[in-house]
A and B are shown apart, each in its own frame.
Chain A
Amino acid sequence: MSNVKHIKTIFQREFKAYFDSPVAYVFLVAFLVLVGFLTFGVTMYYERRQANLTPFFFWHPWVYLLLVPAATMGLWAEERRTGTIELLLTLPVTLVETLVGKFLAAWAFIGIALGLTFPIVLTTAWLGSPDMGAIICGYLGSLLLSGACVAVGVFASALSRSQVIGFVIALAICLFMLIIGFDPVINAVSGWGVPAGVVNAVASCSLMQHFDAMRRGVIDFYDIGYYVGVMVFMLAAAHVVTDNRKAS
């Protein structure tokens, strides 16, 4: 039986820990500058003269790819390095409660970064009359996508006491899960004579494909289920790793 109070206590400590150091503020600024630059500078938001957030959501997978691992790399690695893992895991809480608390804290932190992009919605609404349903759907998809990346990050962080290893492994896994559904990659692989059925099956496991539908404004329970599935799977993997490698 998981105790919600324990999860809440661990969540609060982890969440506050982000803001106890300058890391959180550097992260938030980097996130917003990067998203802003890519949307306005690279995909030419104004020049398109369309009142939608397509160029904005287009970049989210790539920005998460770079920044989510940075936000999650310390979750377990730091506990190992400083030895607090021994304190935490000898308290009367289960490993599931600890993992869920940490995961939710990191996800909430990314959620705040995402929430702080709200001026772009105001801008779009002021310039034209965008489809608000599609925007909400896009944000929901983006939040789910970030949750999947956070779960990967939690897993990667549990692997070693080095934050750098946690970062690189999370980045590698996320990159793999993104590009197997990225159109240029799919086209290239199809060109090698791989059967279309196989290509499509692999691509449907990609973080990208499920986000593509949602950022266009289509909510499918299949997509939501996919993201929840990735999160549960990654946290279960993190549970196994942490349980087996506590002392190392």
Chain B
Amino acid sequence: MLTVSNLKKNFGTIQAVKGVSFTVDKGEVLGFLGPNGAGKSTTMRMITGFIPPTSGTAVICGHDITTDPVSAKRCIGYLPENAPSYHTMTVTDFLTFIGKIRGFEGRVLKEKVESVIVKSRLENVRKQTIETLSKGYRQRTCFAQAIMHDPQVLIMDEPTDGLDPNQKFVVREMIKEMAADKAIIVSTHILEEVDAVCTRAIIISGGQVVANGTPAELRAKDPQGRFDVVFRNLTMTEGPAHV
């Protein structure tokens, strides 16, 4: 459903992403791992059409993001880093705005907004402006806009960042609920999350894919099966990698 081929991005003379390729199929939850600055967000921004790649492309449900961005964007639900939203709007108004842009009207629009409010557990705050909400609710509001049109491809940039343990649990449960009929990418630097939700993981470092496999396969790279050691070996470029 999602094919990323040889995606590259230069910012001036800095090569942020140096040729990333992978595919995600329906039913898969792909964990996108890597240290800060590895190029995770840049890659996701290119896949979702926010920034244009220097070269390479991503094909989403048959639509090339560089040549047919509007059709490709229709198939994607995207939760950007830090879950941005319009803070002066109420939760209902914000979701209605997104729904209209997504092409829903009238009764269908109302139903979509209502169902996504229930699904994201926002019933108690639907009439509040987003600026008055806690971080967990803001995160869920932005999550709600990403899933409203039941996208085939769901891309989430650090969806559990800054949430408390209970909120993290809720978000992970929601991802698992939706996993069956979607292709999902979740970026994170929390290794335990990979075990909790992902069927496969990619480790990216210095703008390149350094590992791609199921959590069990990646674990097997260390004799003791410790994920953090594997991660460190693959992504630390200096200093003692393994003690």
Q: Could you give, for residues 6-17 of chain A, a 1 whenever the CB lies within 8 Å of some chain B CB and a 0 otherwise?
A: 100110110001
A94 to chain B: which residues have CB within 8 Å?
Answer: 69-70
B70 to chain A: which residues have CB within 8 Å?
Answer: 92-94
A12-B97, A87-B145 given; name 14 further pairs at CB < 8 Å: A5-B103, A13-B97, A82-B84, A82-B87, A83-B81, A84-B84, A86-B81, A90-B48, A90-B73, A91-B101, A92-B70, A92-B103, A93-B70, A93-B101
B48 to chain A: which residues have CB within 8 Å?
Answer: 90
CB of B127 within 8 Å of the partner chain: no
In whole angstroms, what is the CA distance A87 to B101 when docked?
A: 12
A11 smallest CB distance to B (angstroms): 11
B45 to chain A: which residues have CB within 8 Å?
Answer: 86, 247
Determine which of B50, B69, B73, B97 lies in contact with A9 in the assembled complex, contact meaning CB atoms within 8 Å.
B97
B87 to chain A: which residues have CB within 8 Å?
Answer: 82
CB of A21 within 8 Å of the partner chain: yes
Q: Could you give, for residues 65-95 of chain A, a 1 whenever the CB lies within 8 Å of some chain B CB and a 0 otherwise?
A: 0000000000000000011101101111110
Q: Is the CB of A84 within 8 A of B76?
A: no
In whole angstroms, what is the CA distance A5 to B87 when docked?
A: 23
Among B48, B76, B84, chain A packs the most CB atoms within 10 A around the CB of: B84
CB of A20 within 8 Å of the partner chain: yes
- State the A residues within 8 Å of B (CB): 5-6, 9-10, 12-13, 17, 20-21, 82-84, 86-87, 89-94, 246-247
Q: For B89, give the chain A residue with the smallest CB separation.
A: A20
Q: Is the CB of A247 within 8 A of B84?
A: no
A10 to chain B: which residues have CB within 8 Å?
Answer: 101
In whole angstroms, what is the CA distance A86 to B142 when docked?
A: 12
Number of A-B contacts (CB under 8 A): 68
A83 to chain B: which residues have CB within 8 Å?
Answer: 80-82, 84
Determine which of B49, B69, B71, B80 lies in contact with A87 in the assembled complex, contact meaning CB atoms within 8 Å.
B80
B5 smallest CB distance to A (angstroms): 20
In whole angstroms, what is the CA distance A246 to B11 when docked?
A: 12
* Interface magnitude class on chain B: 20 to 34
A245 smallest CB distance to B (angstroms): 10
Determine which of B76, B80, B86, B103 lies in contact with A17 in the assembled complex, contact meaning CB atoms within 8 Å.
B86
Q: Could you give, for residues 90-132 of chain B, a 1 whenever the CB lies within 8 Å of some chain A CB and a 0 otherwise?
A: 0000000110111100000000000000000000000001000
- State the B residues within 8 Å of A (CB): 45, 48-51, 69-71, 73-74, 76, 78, 80-82, 84-89, 97-98, 100-103, 129, 142, 145
Q: Given the interface contacts A84-B84, A90-B73, does A247 sit within 8 Å of B101 by beta carbon?
A: no
Q: Is the CB of B101 within 8 A of A84?
A: no
Q: Is the CB of A9 within 8 A of B80?
A: no
Q: Given the interface contacts A84-B86, A87-B80, does A92 sit within 8 Å of B51 by beta carbon?
A: no
Q: Given the interface contacts A17-B88, A92-B73, does A247 sit within 8 Å of B100 by beta carbon?
A: no
B60 smallest CB distance to A (angstroms): 11
In whole angstroms, what is the CA distance A149 to B108 when docked?
A: 39
Q: Is the CB of B78 within 8 A of A20?
A: no
Q: For B94, give the chain A residue with the smallest CB separation.
A: A13
B198 smallest CB distance to A (angstroms): 23
Among A12, A89, A92, chain B packs the most CB atoms within 10 A around the CB of: A92
B82 to chain A: which residues have CB within 8 Å?
Answer: 83
Determine which of B74, B81, B89 lies in contact with A92 in the assembled complex, contact meaning CB atoms within 8 Å.
B74
A-B residue pairs in contact (CB < 8 Å), sample of 8: A13-B89, A83-B81, A86-B81, A86-B84, A90-B78, A92-B73, A92-B101, A93-B70
